[in-house]
Structure 1
Amino acid sequence: MMTEGLSMMTRRDLLGGVAATALVPLAGGVGTAFAGTGSKAGGGFCRHVDPFIGTGGHGHTYPGATVPFGMVQLSPDTNTAGWDACSGYHIQDRSLLGFSHTHLSGTGVGDMLDVLVVPRVGPVRLDPGTPESPDEGYRARFDHADEQATPGFYRVRLKDSGIEAELTATKRAGLHRYRFPDAAGAHLLIDFAHGFQDPAGSVTRITGASLRLVGKDTLVGGRHVHQWGQGRVIYFAMKLSRPFAGARFYSNDHAMPEGAQDVEGAALKCVLDLPDAHSGPLLVKVGLSAVDIDGALRNLDTEIPGWDFDGVRAAAAAAWEAELGRLAITKGGDAADIKIFYTALYHALLAPTLFSDVDGRYRAMDSTVRQLPAGANNYSTYSLWDTYRALHPLFTLAQPPSRVGDIVGGLVRMAEESPAGPPVWPLQGTETGCMIGWHSAVVVAEAAAKNIPGVDYKAAWPIFRKQAFQGQTSGLPEYRRLGYIPSDTVEEAVSKTLEYAYDDWAIARLGDAVGAADDAKALRQRSLNYRKLFDRDMTFMRPRFTDGSWAQPFDPRGMGHSRKWRDFTESNAWQATFLNQHDIYGYMEMFGGPAAFENKLDELFTTSSDLPDDAPPDIAGLVGQYAHGNEPSHHIAYLYAYTGAHHKTQARVRSLLKTMYRADPDGLAGNEDCGQMSAWYLMSALGLYAVDPVTPIYVFGSPLFDRVDVTVGEGRTLTIEAAGNAPDSPYIQSVTWQGKSYTRTWIRHGDLVQGGRLFFTMGPKPNPRFGAAAEDRPSSFTATRV
C-alpha cells in the first residue's frame, strides 16, 4: 500500500500556483537552415518526423536527440520554470541555457534536465540570466531558422557567439559536436546545479552532489535531486575529444582553490578552458547511470567507444527507421497526415525510458542497486494515468512481445520493490504518486489477457490484491466502506470513485488469469461501485456526501461543489459521466437504454464549450464538452459503437483526427503525455481503439489511410486497407477479415497479432446497418463475446 506521507496527487497539485500562459501560435516552419543535411540523415520514414510538433502550445515536448526508449534525451533547455517549461523547451523562447541529457516528453509536471553543458566564448558567467535579459548570464540567443531536428539528431547555431552545436545519442549516452569561432575565452561550463525549478524563482533541490576530474579529458559526478521525483539519483561520466587546458570548480558560485581536482556540495559547477577550441570540431560524450560513476563510465565506453559522431548519428537514425517502419503507410494520406502520423509514432516511442546499465544493474524503487537477469531491461517514466488508455494497447499490438514483456514486467518488479506498492507514476527509481488510481493494474491485466510472455503475473497478484482490499490510498477506505468516495471528506472524489472501480475491474481480470476466482468475483462486483454516483434524474455523475445526499449546487461544467477542492480530476461532470470503460451496457440501462445513451453522447459533443474560470488548462481541445486535450475523454467517441450507432463513432473519430492534430509546433490539443496523445492518433488512424484495454478487443473507428502494413507479434504482417477512403468518406460501408465478410464493429487482439488482411470499404454516407445488430456490438461487462 502507499507509504505514510505519500499521498496520491494530481499534476495540477504539483504545479499549484503556476499559471498557464496563453500562447500565440507560431506561424511558419522550423529548421530550414540545415534542411539538406537533415533530409540526408533522416531518409525513409524518418524524413516524415518533425520533432518540433508539440513544442508549442501546451504540448510540452522537446526537439533533441534520443533513440527509441532511450535513457538519454540530449536536448536544448530554453526555460526551467513554469508549466510550459516541463520539457525544458518551448518554441516561443528565443534563448537557450545549454544542452542537458534528460528530459520528459509531454508531461504536466517538470523534472530532469540533468548535466547541463554550456558552450561559450568570452568571460565566464555562472548565472544563467533570464529569458528577458540573456546577456546578464550564460544564456545564448538563437533563431529557429538555425535549428534542425530529425530522429536522433539536433543542431543549432548560437546567434551571438557563432558556435554551432550538434547532438546525437545512443541508449545510455549522448554525443555533442561543437564548432567554435576563432574567439578568445572558449570554454565549456557544466552547470550541475541546473534543473527544473518549481516554483519559479526557486533553486533546484539537490543534495550529495560531487564533481571530480579524471586526467585532462574526463569529468565525472553524481547528485541526488529532490523535485518531482523525490530523491532520484543520477551519475555521469563526460569525456572530451581533446584535453582541456584548465578546470575550475565552483560551489554556490564560489570558486574553489586553484588546482582543486574535485568538489562536493549542492550547487556545483565546473568550467573547462578550451583555448584551441577553434582548431577543429570539439566532441563531448556523456554517459549516464543511476547506479554509480563506474556504471556511467561503462555505459559510455560500451556505447560510444570512439569519436565517430556521424556514425553514432547514423546508428540512431537506423534505430528510428526500424521502429517507425513497423507501421508502414504504403498508400494514401496527404503530406500533413503522414507527418503527423510518423511524428506521433516517434513521440509514442520516447517512453517508458530505459533505466538499467549495460551490465544489467539498476536502481530499484527502494533505492537499492539490483541485478537484472541476463537479457532483461529495466524501464522508468511510466505516465500510467495517461498511457494505459492507448499507448500500452499500441505496444501490445505493434511492438515485439519481448519488449512488451520487459516493459510490463518492469511494473511488476517495481510493485515488488517499492515501499509504495503498485506503481502510480514511477520516475527514475522514485514514486511520484502523481494522479489518481493505480493503473499499473490495467497494464499488467491487459498483458495477461493478451498472453504477453515474460511477466510474472502470479507475483503481481498479491500486491494488487493487497492494494484493492487493504490499501489506504486517498479515499480507498471510504470506497470500501460506502461503495463510493464522499466529496465532503475527499477531494476529486467522483473521479477517484470511477477510476478505483475500473482498477477493480482490471485487478479482477488479473485474478481470473492467476486462478483467484473468489477474489476476482468480489472485485468484479465492486467494480460496479461507479453506479452509486450516477444521478438518474440528472443523468450525470455527481458528487455525493457521506450521508448519501447529493452535493449542492451542481453545475455539470463545474470543477466541484465548493472552492474547497475539486470533485473531479482534470475534468468536470460532462467528461466524468462517460468515464466508464468496462460496464457500458449496464451503464446504458441507467440512462434508459441505448437510444437515451446515444442522445446523451450527442449532447456531450454539441453542448456549449463554455467552462468556468477555475477550469484547469488540461480541459482543452473542446468539442462541446468533450475534451480531447486530456485523457479522460479519449475513449468516448467510440462509445457510440455500443449503442448500435457505429456510424457516429466513425464520423466523430475522423473529425477528431483531422481537427485535433496539426503538423505545427502547437499542433497538439493538450499535453502529449509520454505518448498517450500520439497513441490515440495512431490507433485511431489505423481504425482501431481499445475502449477497455483489459478486454482484448479493438473497436473499429474510421481508418485514415488507404493502406498500412503493421508488423505484429513475432514479425507477422497485419495489412489494414480502406478502399474508397477520402476526406469526405469517413463512413464504413462494409468490412472483410481474411477475405470473408465481417459484420462486427470490433475484432479480437488474438486474431490481429496472427497477421492478416483487414479490409474496409468506405463511403461518403453512413451505413446505419453496419454494427446495428446487438450481436455485432463490442463486448463489455454484461455482454462478453471474447
Structure 2
Amino acid sequence: MKKLLRKCLCFVLVAITLAACNAPSKEGADFANKGVLQYVDTRVGTAASIADITVTEVEEPMGYVSPIVGNPSALTHWTPQTATWTDRVITVPVPYWYDQEKIQGFRGTRYPNGAVVGDWGAMCIMPMTGVVSIDAKARASKFSHDSEIARPHYYSVKLDDYNIKAELTAASKTAFFQFTFPESKSSSVLFDGVFVPGYYKVIPERNEIEGYMIIAGNFRNHFVAKFDKEFETYRVDVLPAVVDANLVPEGFKASYYNNDKLEGEPTAFDTYSDLNREWLKAPVEGIKDDFFSAIYTGTLVARHSGEHTFELTTEDGTRMYLNNQLVIDKWEYRATGTETYTTKLTKGEKYDIRIEYYDGSGSTVMKLRCAEPVKQDPDFGSEMALIGADGNAVYVTFATKDQEKVKMKVGTSLIDLAQARANMDQEFPDFDFNKSVAKGAQVWENELDKIQVEGSEDDKAIFYTALTKCFVNPRNLNEDGRYFSPFDFKVHEGEMYTDLSIWDTFRSLHPLWVILKPQETTNIINGMLNAYKEGGWIPKWPNPWYRSIMMGTHADAVIADAYVKGIRGFDADLAFEAMLKNANVKGDRGFSGRVGIDYFNKMGYVPTDIFGFYGEPVARTLEFSYDDYCIAQMARALLKIDHLAEYMERSKRYINVFDKETGLVRGKKLNGEWLPPFDKSISVWAQGTDHDTEVYYKNHTLLVPHDIPGLANFMGGNDQLEAYLDDFFDKDMYYVGDEFSMHAPYMYNNIGAPWKTQKVVREMLSKYFFNDVGGLPGNDDCGQVSSWYVFGAMGFYPACPGDPIYQLCSPVLNKVVLNVGEGKTFTIIANNNSKENAYIQSAKLNGKEYTKCTLTHSDLMNGGDLVFEMGAEPNKNWGILK
C-alpha cells in the first residue's frame, strides 16, 4: 500500500495568513471573514488524507476535489488548474492538486467534483506578461499557497512568474476575472480548450472573444469573453491541416472489431479520405456503440523535407505507428485528449501510418492533423482571428501600467453563442467586480444558512466546508428555461441535470437535498424523466450523457426516497414505468443499466463466469436487490399492490450470493458452483494484497441496507451480526471513503446496540475528517462523503433511502437548526456534549421523553426540537427497538 502524503496545516492559521498576505477586494474581504463563509476552505480534500485510512492498492485516499468557484449546481464552475491530467493510482483530469507548485491557468470546468470521470467541455484562461507561451506546462507560473484565498464564491492567487494577481468570482454560467498586472508593454490573456482544440474569433470593436470547443458531435461548449480594455494585438494559433488526400493519396483503410482489444477477426471495414471523425454511436453498421476497437492504415507521401508535427486527437485509447515504429502510446480509458509527435520527413518519401484505437463508452473521436515545414505568414494568425478559425488557442495582448486592473467576464452556454452572451449580460451586467463578489458571497451565505450550527470553531469549519461540497453538484443545464440535451442533442424546454454520481449520492446527498432543497429535488427528478423520454433510460451516472459505469440503477432509490418523503411535482407513473424498465430490460442505445439483469431475473443472481473481472457480479446482485426494494416502496406509495409483492420478493435475491461456508458474499457460477473463497476475480476492487481482498468481501457482505433482519438471520441472529460488526470495526476494515457499507455504523441501531452506533460514528468523524487540505478520507464523489459527514455530525442518518426513517447517532455539534421549509425549523441540541461525552443518556422530542433510536421524516419536517442529554458512559437501555 502506498505511503500517504502527510501534511499538517492548521486551517485557522492558514486563514489568518491568507488574509494578511493576499487581501481580496473590499467586499471579497468582508465576505471572506464574516458569516459562515469564514469557515470554508474549498481546498480541503485537494491533498492526500492525513488520516490512517483503510484503502486497497487500487484506490488512493484523495478527495479528488478542486477549489471550485461558482454558484451551487452551476453550469460551469471555475478553478485554478495545476494539471491537465495527473498520474496517480488512478489517472484523472482533476484540475487542481495541492502538492503541485505551478498554476497553468484558470479552468472553466465540468469535472464532477470529487469523482473519477471526465471533465467535459473544459476551457482554460491564463494571464501572462512577455512572450506568450501556448503550452500549458511551459506557461505555468509558480505560486504560494500563502497567497491563496479559496472560497466557493471567490478565489485569489499571486502568479509569481508574471507578478500578476488573479482574482475570480463566478455565478452559474459566467465567470468574472480581475487581473492586476505589473507594468508591461506586452500583457496578455490566453484561452485554450485544455484537452481539445477550439474555434475562436476576436471582435476587437467590442473587446470580445467568442468561440466554442466541440465535446462530441453537435455538443459544443460556447463562450463569449468581454474585456473592459481594448486589445492591441490578437492571434489564433491555427490548427495544422487535417491529414487528407494531399498527404495520404489513397486514403485510410479501417478495420473494426466488436471488442475493445483488437481481438479475433475484424467485423466491419470502411475507407476514409481523412481521419477527422466523431461518432455519437457506432462508426459503421455492424459495430457496437461502445467497447469496439479499430485499426486505421494509410501511406503518407511527404510534400516537403523537414520537421513534421502530427497531432492525434482521440477519446479513449490510441497508438500511432510510423513505419512500424510506435510513436504515440496512450492506450487507456480517458476523456478526449491530443497527443503530438514531431519527426523529420523527406519530400517524396513514403511512410506507412498505422493508428490503433479502442472505445470505452460514450462518444468516439478520431482526428489526425499534421503541421508541415512551411513558413507561415506572420499575420496569418491575426487575420484568422478576425474571421474565426479552429485553433489550439487564442490570445489578446495590451500594454499595462503598474497595478492596472483588467476585468474580464466569460459567459458560457451549451445552446449557442447568443445564449452565452445573454447569460453573461444577465449574471454580470456591468464591470463592478467588488459588487459581483459580494453577490456571490450572499448566494452561498443563503445556501449554507439552511443549517445553523453551534460547536467548536474547528467543528464548524469542517461542517460548513463539507456542506459547501454538498451543493456543488449535480450540474444544472437550464439556461433561461431551456437546455441542450445530452441524450438527443436537441434544445428542449424544461429541466435537465447532469454530473449526478447517483451510485454514490443516493445514499445521503440526495436525502439531504430532500430535506433542504425539495423544489430542486423535484427539478432533478424531472430532469431524469426528460432523459428517459429523450434517450430511453433514466441515467445512472450522466457525465454529461449516459455513462455505463458502476452497478445498479440507483435513480430508483433517488425517486422512491423522494416520493415516500412527500416530494411531488413530477409524473410518478412515468417514473415508475422507467424504474420497471430498469428492472427488466437490458440496456441499449449506448446505455447499460443493470448489466446481467436477464440472468438476475432468471437465476436470482448475476453469475461470475458470465460477468467476471470488472463485471462486479456479486455487487450487482446485491444492488439490484436493493433497487427492487426501492421499486417496491414506490409501488406501495402508488398503491400498486401486485408490484409491491413481486418486488419485495425480488429484493430478497441478495441471499443467493451469501455463502454459509465463509459467512460472506461469494461469487457463484451459472451452474451454481461457488468461486474459491476470497477469489480476487470477483472485482477490480478486490485486487492487491490478501488483506485488501478480505476488506472487499467484509464490506460487501454488509451491502443489504433494506433487510438487516434477513442479514442477521443469515449470520445466525442479532448477536452474531453484532459480533461481525464489532470485529469489522475493531480491525479497521471499514473504508469510509467508499460507499459500499456507508450505512454499516448505523446497523447497530437495528440489532439492539444503538450505543455502539453512537461510539463508532463519533470515532470515525473525529478520526477521518479534518480542518486541513488532507481533511477528506477519500473521493468525495460529488458530495457523498461530505454529506455522510454532515448527517453524522448533526446526529442522524438516512441508512436506507426509500424508507422515511433516519437512524440517530451521537451529534458532534452542540446545536443544529435545520430550516425544513414553510418557515419551520427542526432543532437538535446535545446538552453536556464533548469528545468524552459521546453517548446519549436520554432524549426528548418536543418536550416528551423519546426512547427510540430512529426519527421519522414527518417528525423532522413538522419542525420542533430533539434534545439529547449526553454522557461519558453508554446508556445501554436507551434506544432499544421494541
TM-score between both structures, scaled by the size of structure 1: 0.86
1:287 is aligned to 411
Give the CA deviation at 1:166: 0.1
Instruction: Confirm or deny: 8 A CA contact 1:471 1:477 kept in the other structure.
Output: yes
Give the CA deviation at 1:409: 2.2
For residues 716-740 of structure 1, the C-alpha deviation after alignment (integer angstroms, 9 at most, x for no partner) is: 1111111121111111111111111
Distance 2:218 2:748 in 1: 46
Q: Give matches, 1:91-106, under 5 Å.
A: 91-102=98-109, 103-106=111-114
Instruction: Confirm or deny: 8 A CA contact 1:98 1:119 kept in the other structure.
Output: yes
Indicate which of 336, 340, 350 corresponds to 2:458. Answer: 336
Q: Does 1:34 align with 2:19?
A: yes
Could you tell me which amino acid in structure 2 is paired with residue 532 of structure 1?
N
Q: Give matches, 1:724-739, under 5 Å.
A: 724-739=832-847
Q: Does 1:219 align with 2:209?
A: yes
Give the CA deviation at 1:274: 1.5
Distance 2:753 2:788 in 1: 21
Q: Does 1:699 align with 2:817?
A: no
Give the CA deviation at 1:305: 0.9
Give the CA deviation at 1:68: 1.9
Secondary structure in structure 1 of the residue aligned to 2:237: strand
Range moving further from structure 2, 735-744 or 359-368: 359-368
Aligned identity (percent) is 31
Q: Does 1:577 align with 2:701?
A: yes
Secondary structure in structure 1 of the residue aligned to 2:841: strand
Distance 1:526 1:414 in 2: 26
Q: Does 1:73 align with 2:77?
A: yes
1:128 is aligned to 136
How large is the Cα RMSD of the aligned pairs?
2.5
Give the CA deviation at 1:606: 2.0
Q: Does 1:458 align with 2:559?
A: no
Q: Note the residue ranges of structure 1 that are not aligned, 5 or more in a row.
A: 1-18, 130-136, 196-203, 608-623, 776-786
Instruction: Confirm or deny: 8 A CA contact 2:678 2:694 kept in the other structure.
Output: no
Indicate which of 641, 651, 654 corresponds to 1:517. Answer: 641
Q: Which has the larger radius of gyration?
A: 2
Instruction: Confirm or deny: 8 A CA contact 2:182 2:400 kept in the other structure.
Output: no
Could you tell me which amino acid in structure 2 is paired with residue 735 of structure 1?
A
2:425 is aligned to 301
Instruction: Confirm or deny: 8 A CA contact 1:553 1:561 kept in the other structure.
Output: no
Range moving further from structure 2, 28-37 or 689-698: 28-37
Could you tell me which amino acid in structure 1 is paired with residue 80 of structure 2?
P
2:509 is aligned to 391
1:59 is aligned to 63
Give the CA deviation at 1:519: 2.4
Instruction: Confirm or deny: 8 A CA contact 1:104 1:112 kept in the other structure.
Output: no
Instruction: Confirm or deny: 8 A CA contact 1:298 1:358 kept in the other structure.
Output: no
Could you tell me which amino acid in structure 1 is paired with residue 770 of structure 2?
R
Q: Give matches, 1:175-574, under 5 Å.
A: 175-192=176-193, 194-195=194-195, 204=196, 209-216=198-205, 217-225=207-215, 232-252=219-239, 256-260=380-384, 261-265=386-390, 268-276=392-400, 278=402, 280-329=404-453, 331=454, 333-372=455-494, 377-399=495-517, 401-419=518-536, 421-428=537-544, 430-472=545-587, 473-490=594-611, 491-554=615-678, 559=683, 572-574=696-698
Could you tell me which amino acid in structure 1 is paired with residue 506 of structure 2?
Y
For residues 446-478 of structure 1, the C-alpha deviation after alignment (integer angstroms, 9 at most, x for no partner) is: 111011122221111112111212224421111
Indicate which of 115, 124, 149 corresponds to 1:116. Answer: 124
Instruction: Confirm or deny: 8 A CA contact 1:724 1:763 kept in the other structure.
Output: yes
Instruction: Confirm or deny: 8 A CA contact 2:234 2:397 kept in the other structure.
Output: yes
1:714 is aligned to 822
Distance 1:562 1:728 in 2: 37
Distance change >3 Å, CA 541–CA 231, structure 1 → 2: farther
2:750 is aligned to 642
Indicate which of 759, 769, 784 corresponds to 2:867. Answer: 759
Distance 1:439 1:307 in 2: 44
Could you tell me which amino acid in structure 2 is paired with residue 288 of structure 1?
T
Could you tell me which amino acid in structure 1 is paired with residue 849 of structure 2?
S
Could you tell me which amino acid in structure 1 is paired with residue 583 of structure 2?
A
Distance change >3 Å, CA 27–CA 718, structure 1 → 2: closer
Indicate which of 90, 103, 106 corresponds to 2:97. Answer: 90
Instruction: Confirm or deny: 8 A CA contact 2:185 2:400 kept in the other structure.
Output: no
Distance change >3 Å, CA 235–CA 561, structure 1 → 2: closer
Distance 2:458 2:664 in 1: 38
Give the CA deviation at 1:359: 4.4
Secondary structure in structure 1 of the residue aligned to 2:443: helix
Instruction: Confirm or deny: 8 A CA contact 1:378 1:407 kept in the other structure.
Output: yes
Give the CA deviation at 1:279: 7.0
Distance change >3 Å, CA 97–CA 563, structure 1 → 2: closer
Distance 1:186 1:511 in 2: 63
Give the CA deviation at 1:379: 2.2
Instruction: Confirm or deny: 8 A CA contact 1:76 1:89 kept in the other structure.
Output: yes
Distance change >3 Å, CA 380–CA 569, structure 1 → 2: farther
Range moving further from structure 2, 39-48 or 178-187: 39-48
TM-score between both structures, scaled by the size of structure 2: 0.77
Distance 1:450 1:279 in 2: 55
Instruction: Confirm or deny: 8 A CA contact 2:148 2:158 kept in the other structure.
Output: yes
Give the CA deviation at 1:395: 1.0
Give the CA deviation at 1:560: 7.2
Distance change >3 Å, CA 26–CA 404, structure 1 → 2: same
Distance 1:645 1:78 in 2: 48
Give the CA deviation at 1:433: 2.1
Give the CA deviation at 1:223: 2.2
Instruction: Confirm or deny: 8 A CA contact 2:496 2:528 kept in the other structure.
Output: no
Secondary structure in structure 2 of the residue aligned to 1:642: helix
Give the CA deviation at 1:115: 2.1
Give the CA deviation at 1:415: 2.2
Distance 2:686 2:541 in 1: 28
Distance 1:515 1:416 in 2: 24
Could you tell me which amino acid in structure 1 is paired with residue 200 of structure 2?
L
For residues 330-386 of structure 1, the C-alpha deviation after alignment (integer angstroms, 9 at most, x for no partner) is: x3x2221110000001111111122111243433522111112xxxx5322111011
Give the CA deviation at 1:503: 0.9
Give the CA deviation at 1:569: 11
Distance change >3 Å, CA 257–CA 92, structure 1 → 2: closer
Secondary structure in structure 2 of the residue aligned to 1:720: strand
Range moving further from structure 2, 500-509 or 339-348: 500-509
Distance 1:232 1:344 in 2: 33
Range moving further from structure 2, 270-279 or 649-658: 270-279
Instruction: Confirm or deny: 8 A CA contact 2:77 2:172 kept in the other structure.
Output: no
Secondary structure in structure 2 of the residue aligned to 1:186: strand
Distance change >3 Å, CA 479–CA 557, structure 1 → 2: closer
Could you tell me which amino acid in structure 1 is paired with residue 212 of structure 2?
G
Q: Give matches, 1:546-695, under 5 Å.
A: 546-554=670-678, 559=683, 572-607=696-731, 624-695=732-803
Give the CA deviation at 1:50: 1.2
Distance change >3 Å, CA 108–CA 304, structure 1 → 2: same
Task: Specify which structure has the higher proportion of strand.
Answer: 2
Distance change >3 Å, CA 308–CA 97, structure 1 → 2: same
Distance 2:685 2:397 in 1: 61
Could you tell me which amino acid in structure 2 is paired with residue 144 of structure 1?
H
